[in-house]
Amino acid sequence: MLNKLYDWVDERLDITPIWRDIADHEVPEHVNPAHHFSAFVYCFGGLTFFITVIQILSGMFLTMYYVPDIENAWQSVYYLQNEVAFGEIVRGMHHWGASLVVVMIFLHTLRVFFTGSYKKPRELNWVVGVMLFGVILGLSFTGYLLPWDMKALFATKVGIEIAASVPLIGGMIKVLLAGDSTILGAQTLTRFFAIHVFFLPAALLGLLAAHFIMIRRQGISGPL
Amino acid sequence: MSNNRVSRRQFLGYTLTGVGGFMAAGMLMPMVRFAVDPVLQQKGAGDFVLTDQRVEDITEEPVRVDFTFEQTDAWYVSEVTNSAWVYKEGDKLIALSPVCKHLGCTVNWAGDPEHPTQFFCPCHAGRYEKNGQNIAGTPPLGPLDEYLVEEQDGYVAIGAVRPNTLV
List the CATH number of the domain containing B84.
Answer: 2.102.10.10
Query: What pLDDT score does A23 carry?
Result: 80
Predicted confidence (pLDDT) at residue B91 exceeds the cutoff of 80? yes
The answer to whether residue B141 is domain-embedded is yes
Query: What pLDDT score does B2 carry?
Result: 65
Cβ count near A143 (within 10 Å): 22
Q: Cβ separation of A90 and B30 shorter than 8 Å?
A: yes
At B87, the pLDDT band (50, 70, 90 cuts) reads very high
Predicted confidence (pLDDT) at residue A216 exceeds the cutoff of 80? yes
The reply to whether B36 and B57 lie within a common domain is no
Contact status of A144 with chain B (Cβ, < 8 Å): no
User: Phi/psi at A151 (nearest 5 deg)?
Assistant: -60, -45
The answer to whether residue B138 is domain-embedded is yes
Using alpha carbons, select from B49, B79, B68, B45 the residue that is nearest to residue B156.
Answer: B49
For A59, nearest residue in chain B (alpha carbons): B31
The reply to whether B54 and B135 lie within a common domain is yes
- Which residues in chain A have their CB less than 8 angstroms from residue B72's CB? none
Query: What pLDDT score does B42 carry?
Result: 79
The answer to whether residue B7 is domain-embedded is yes
Q: Cβ separation of B34 and A57 shorter than 8 Å?
A: no
- Which residues in chain A have their CB less than 8 angstroms from residue B27's CB? 54, 57, 93
Q: Which of B10, B28, B34 should one mutate to test binding to chain A, selecting the residue with the greatest count of A CBs within 10 A? A: B34
Predicted confidence (pLDDT) at residue A51 exceeds the cutoff of 90? yes
Per the structure, the complete domain to which residue B8 belongs is given by 1-41
Q: Which H or E element spans position B109?
A: strand B108-109
Domain chopping of chain A, boundaries: 28-148+204-218
- Which residue from B27, B35, B37 is facing A54, i.e. has the nearest CB? B27
Task: Write the pLDDT tens digit of every residue in A94-108.
Answer: 999 999 999 999 999
Considering only A188-197, B13-22, B85-94, which range has the smallest mean pLDDT?
B85-94
The reply to whether B23 and B98 lie within a common domain is no
The answer to whether residue B107 is domain-embedded is yes
Q: Cβ separation of A85 and B75 shorter than 8 Å?
A: no
Q: Cβ separation of A78 and B40 shorter than 8 Å?
A: no
Q: Cβ separation of B74 and A79 shorter than 8 Å?
A: yes
Contact status of A212 with chain B (Cβ, < 8 Å): no
The answer to whether residue B80 is domain-embedded is yes
Predicted confidence (pLDDT) at residue A160 exceeds the cutoff of 90? yes
Class at the top of the CATH hierarchy for domain A28-148+204-218: mainly alpha
Most confident of A93-97, A220-224, B58-62, B69-73: A93-97
The reply to whether B63 and B30 lie within a common domain is no
Mean pLDDT of chain B: 91
User: Phi/psi at B157 (nearest 5 deg)?
Assistant: -120, 135
The answer to whether residue B144 is domain-embedded is yes
The reply to whether B4 and B85 lie within a common domain is no
At B45, the pLDDT band (50, 70, 90 cuts) reads low
Contact status of A82 with chain B (Cβ, < 8 Å): no
At B47, the pLDDT band (50, 70, 90 cuts) reads confident
Within the 80-139 window of chain B, which residues sit less than 8 Å (CB to CB) from chain A? none
The reply to whether B122 and B87 lie within a common domain is yes
The reply to whether B28 and B86 lie within a common domain is no
ipTM associated with this complex: 0.85
Predicted confidence (pLDDT) at residue B46 exceeds the cutoff of 80? no
Report how far residue B56's alpha carbon sits from residue B70's, in angstroms, rounded to the nearest whole number: 27
- CA R_g for chain B: 27
Average pLDDT over residues A197-224: 94
Domain count along chain B = 2
pTM here is 0.85
Predicted confidence (pLDDT) at residue B1 exceeds the cutoff of 60? no
At B43, the pLDDT band (50, 70, 90 cuts) reads confident
A15: Cβ–Cβ under 8 A, 6 or more apart, which residues?
A: A9
* Proportion of chain A in helix, strand, coil states, percent, rounded to 5: 75, 0, 25
The reply to whether B155 and B94 lie within a common domain is yes
Question: Inter-axis angle of helices A44-62 and A200-218, to 10 degrees?
Answer: 150
Average pLDDT over residues A19-42: 88
B102–chain A nearest CA distance, Å: 29
Report how far residue A222's alpha carbon sits from residue B51's, in angstroms, rounded to the nearest whole number: 81
- Which residues in chain A have their CB less than 8 angstroms from residue B76's CB? 72, 75
Contact status of A126 with chain B (Cβ, < 8 Å): no
Q: Cβ separation of A86 and B31 shorter than 8 Å?
A: yes
The reply to whether B21 and B64 lie within a common domain is no
Query: What pLDDT score does A19 carry?
Result: 83
- Which residue from B37, B74, B76 is facing A85, i.e. has the nearest CB? B37
Q: Are strands B108-109 and B155-162 parallel, antiparallel or unpaired?
A: unpaired
Q: Cβ separation of B34 and A54 shorter than 8 Å?
A: no
For A51, nearest residue in chain B (alpha carbons): B27
Task: Write the pLDDT tens digit of every residue in A108-118.
Answer: 999 999 999 99
A53–chain B nearest CA distance, Å: 11
Q: Which of B1 and A183 is assigned the larger pLDDT?
A: A183
A59–chain B nearest CA distance, Å: 10
Contact status of B40 with chain A (Cβ, < 8 Å): yes
For A77, nearest residue in chain B (alpha carbons): B75
For A54, nearest residue in chain B (alpha carbons): B27
The answer to whether residue B148 is domain-embedded is yes
The reply to whether B106 and B126 lie within a common domain is yes
The reply to whether B11 and B27 lie within a common domain is yes
Sign of CA dihedral A7, A11, A13, A17: positive
Q: Cβ separation of A84 and B30 shorter than 8 Å?
A: no
The answer to whether residue B167 is domain-embedded is no
Contact status of A53 with chain B (Cβ, < 8 Å): no
